[in-house]
Amino acid sequence: MAIISASEHGPHRGYSRAQVKYAASYVVITFVVLLILNIYCSQTCQKLFYQSKQSSMIEKCQLASDEIATLEVLNSSTVTGIVSQMESLKITRLVITDHRGMVLYDSSSEALGKYMLLPEILQALDVTETTPKGNNVFYWKYYDGIMDSRAATPIVCYGSVVGCVYMTEYDVAQGALIQSLQDTILRITFFLEVIVILFSIAFSNAFSRRLDKIMSSMRIIQEGDYSHKVNMGGNDELTILGNEFNDLTERLQTSEQKRSRFVSDASHELKTPLASIKLLTDSILQNDMDMETIREFVGNIGDEAERLNRMTAKLLSLTRAEGRTDADCEIIYMAPTVRQVAKMLRQTAEKADVALNLELEGDTPVLILEDDLYQIVFNLMENGIKYNIAGGSLTVKLSRVEDNAVLEVRDTGMGIPEEALSHVFERFYRVDKARSRQTGGSGLGLAIVRTIVQRNRGEIQVSSVVDQGTTFTVTFPAFDTEVDRS
């Protein structure tokens, strides 16, 4: 019980793990991608604001420095005079210094008359060989929804730096804009992630439901219902898997049907001679018989035992034919084997008054196991004699047709009715059961022949006219090499 329940639930547990694993990795991957996109968007947005702020602040500084550069004398009162005319600058703080960094004007009045040695001012006033006219400096910081920008440009008069314009601006409006943009991008990211999570749950559920279908079908097949089919729907790899599964169960069903038919046919066939033996022995034991009758009955028992013997030998031969490999095949001519079989059956043919004709001129080499060829020729010729009529004939002809070697076994016997032709290669099939039993036939000879022919890449066909005769034609691919003819 424990084992059954383990095997029943095991695959389900595996499924849910796989399902969670796939869904989780899908969610994590999309989360990382969205996060990167999110960071990239906010960085780009901040960069755009930075660039626009930088150009506007530097422009304002330069405007002020150009105006101041026109002054004859640079001191606190001249600078204050000119700055008061520049109201349109709209900045938080404006500082004008001389070339040493001493403040000539401060809109907040905090540093007026003092040295203001801020890094931006020092950098703007820094005159080197490469920067003889100072530097334009811009510094920008965004925090808590505030854009803190600082810019400084040198005041250049007749080619030399005479001072510096320094501006600061705390832009809350633009800061709020950046904040709201970032919030919106974040909200979209979360919204998309939620959609991705819902999608992956739905997708993995659907996926595992379909896998479940196959697993339950497997369990049904395991329990022996080979007729069960799985219907996957859709048009993806799982559908192909489902179709393959159905093909497999169909093949299983066919082979299972064949196996059970074989078992029932075989036991039925074996039962008949066994029943006869039992009947004969009972008769001998229960009745007072004279010696002559007892001898006759014992003879009959021997015949039945012989028939059982032949049947089991043929069954073994059929099993061996089905399991054999190509390893021992060789390229041989067919004529020597035909002659050998003819020699073996000559006496039987004479007894049955059947003339044997061999037309072996068109012999062509074939790739086959000699034993296999012997079995084919023997069974076909034996039938040609067994199911012939007194005074009839049996002809074996070898020929070549295009790239094939052809073996033809033609008799002038009783023939096979049309409706029976398609069945003669089936195991235990006999057209006339009574007659076959009389001749000791088990109905296995042609089944063995067909199995061997097919295994050697050949084909077998039969044509027959009742009361005129039957022709079996076996075709193998020809192998044109120099081979010993003996």
- Say how far residue 329 (Cα) sits from the centre of its chain: 36
Per partner kind, with CB cut-offs from 5 to 8 A, the member of Mg ion, ligand ATP, none near residue 367 is none
Residues engaged in binding ligand ATP (CB under 6 A): 314, 379, 383-384, 387, 411, 413-416, 424, 429-432, 436, 441-447, 470
Beta carbon nearer to ligand ATP, 200 or 317: 317
Q: Give the up-direction half-sphere exposure of residue 40: CA atoms within 13 A in the CB hemisphere.
A: 7
Per partner kind, with CB cut-offs from 5 to 8 A, the member of ligand ATP, Mg ion, none near residue 411 is ligand ATP
Give dist(CA 116, CA 95) in Å, integer: 9
* Nearest CA among 408, 402, 400, 401 for reference residue 364: 400
Per partner kind, with CB cut-offs from 5 to 8 A, the member of ligand ATP, Mg ion, none near residue 424 is ligand ATP
Give dist(CA 53, CA 58) in Å, integer: 8
Per partner kind, with CB cut-offs from 5 to 8 A, the member of ligand ATP, Mg ion, none near residue 392 is none
In whole angstroms, the minimum distance from the beta carbon of 429 to ligand ATP comes to: 6
Beta carbon nearer to ligand ATP, 220 or 420: 420
Per partner kind, with CB cut-offs from 5 to 8 A, the member of Mg ion, ligand ATP, none near residue 164 is none
In whole angstroms, the minimum distance from the beta carbon of 221 to ligand ATP comes to: 34
Strand partners, 170: 148
In whole angstroms, the minimum distance from the beta carbon of 446 to Mg ion comes to: 6
Beta carbon nearer to ligand ATP, 383 or 473: 383
In whole angstroms, the minimum distance from the beta carbon of 441 to Mg ion comes to: 5
Beta carbon nearer to ligand ATP, 95 or 385: 385
Per partner kind, with CB cut-offs from 5 to 8 A, the member of ligand ATP, Mg ion, none near residue 471 is none
Q: Which of 383, 388, 470, 473 binds Mg ion (CB under 5 A)?
A: 383
> Which range binds Mg ion by CB under 5 A, 84-92, 99-107, 438-446, 461-469?
438-446
Beta carbon nearer to ligand ATP, 96 or 431: 431
In whole angstroms, the minimum distance from the beta carbon of 337 to ligand ATP comes to: 18
Site for Mg ion contains 445 (CB under 5 A): yes
Residue whose beta carbon is closest to Mg ion: 445
In whole angstroms, the minimum distance from the beta carbon of 436 to ligand ATP comes to: 4
> Which range binds Mg ion by CB under 5 A, 22-30, 100-108, 206-214, 379-387?
379-387
Beta carbon nearer to Mg ion, 250 or 322: 322
Name the one residue in this structure whose structure tokens are 């659907």.
206
Per partner kind, with CB cut-offs from 5 to 8 A, the member of ligand ATP, Mg ion, none near residue 134 is none
In whole angstroms, the minimum distance from the beta carbon of 406 to ligand ATP comes to: 17
The residues that touch Mg ion, with contacts defined as CB under 5 A, are: 383, 445
